[in-house]
Amino acid sequence: MTIVMTAFERSPDGGKGLARDTRVRWALEEVGLPYEVRLLSFRAMKEAAHLALHPFGQIPTYQEGDLTLFESGAIVLHIAQGHGGLLPDDADASARAIAWMFAAVNTLEPPILELTMAMLFERDKPWYAGRLPLVEDRVRHRLEQLSRRLGDADWLDGAFSAGDLMMVSVLLRLRSSGILDEFPGLAAYVARGEARPAYQRAFAAQRAVNVGQRAGGE
């Protein structure tokens, strides 16, 4: 059954791999599943045909036979549960890996998103200089906690899992802020994720679409 996912026709990041299709591509590459990518313009994302797949008119979506999914975390979990390599066989370890997936999107991603949104859209606002340190400190607080838990380990809980895939994907978005480099253990963790051949293939695939294209907005 052919897997079809959606991605930006022209990602605003110009090929840095920061849009959420990259984590889905990465999961598919980790488990060795072939897939097709349907590219969408911002306008097409808001049209009825796409809204039938994604209620919020966004990417990524995932279609496999009769199944249609949205939400990158749910898509990665579906891939991980159906194919070996991204969740441990042990039921408790698997539950913990899923908890890390939720931690990535529910505990780390919100303050990181707030910071990136502020840096992108609030620079010219009168409150920007005063607010930025507060937003940065919220991110630092979570990174300190995460860094402490990771310690000297390569991955969050034993072998690389979908929890790491999601966490690295979320942390990657911090790179341009410089904050990640304040936490060398986390910077090395992200670099380990990026070095995985499956990530490299996913990154190259999205880059081939986006590099050289001009930014068109968030």
- Closest separation between CB of residue 22 and ligand GTB, Å? 9
Q: Where are the alpha helices (DSSP H) in the chain?
A: 21-31, 42-45, 48-51, 72-82, 91-103, 109-121, 128-150, 162-172, 184-195, 197-210
Pick from 3, 5, 9, 20: which binds ligand GTB (CB under 6 A)?
Answer: 20
Q: Between 16 and 155, whose beta carbon lies closer to ligand GTB?
A: 16
Give the strand pairing for 61-64 and 3-8: antiparallel
Pick from 4, 12, 138, 209: which binds ligand GTB (CB under 6 A)?
Answer: 12
Q: Which stretch binds ligand GTB (CB under 6 A): 66-74, 96-104, 150-158, 186-194?
A: 66-74
- Closest separation between CB of residue 135 and ligand GTB, Å? 17
Using CB under 6 A as the binding rule, whether residue 13 contacts ligand GTB is answered as yes
Using CB under 6 A as the binding rule, whether residue 18 contacts ligand GTB is answered as yes
Using CB under 6 A as the binding rule, whether residue 19 contacts ligand GTB is answered as yes
Q: Closest Cα to residue 45, out of 32, 54, 36? A: 54
CB count, 10 Å around CB of 179? 19
Report phi then psi at 170, rounded to 5: -70, -45
User: What is the x/- site pattern for ligand GTB, positions 67-106, by CB under 6 A?
Assistant: ----xxx---------------------------------
Q: Which stretch binds ligand GTB (CB under 6 A): 16-24, 84-92, 96-104, 186-194?
A: 16-24
Phi-psi region of 157 (alpha: psi -120 to 50; beta: other; left: phi over 0): beta
> Which strands form 36-40's sheet, in the order they lie side by side?
36-40, 3-8, 61-64, 67-70
Cβ(146)–Cβ(111) below 8 Å: no
Number of residues that bind ligand GTB (CB under 6 A): 16
Q: What does the binding site for ligand GTB look like in residue numbers (CB under 6 A)?
A: 11-13, 18-20, 42, 45, 57-60, 71-73, 218
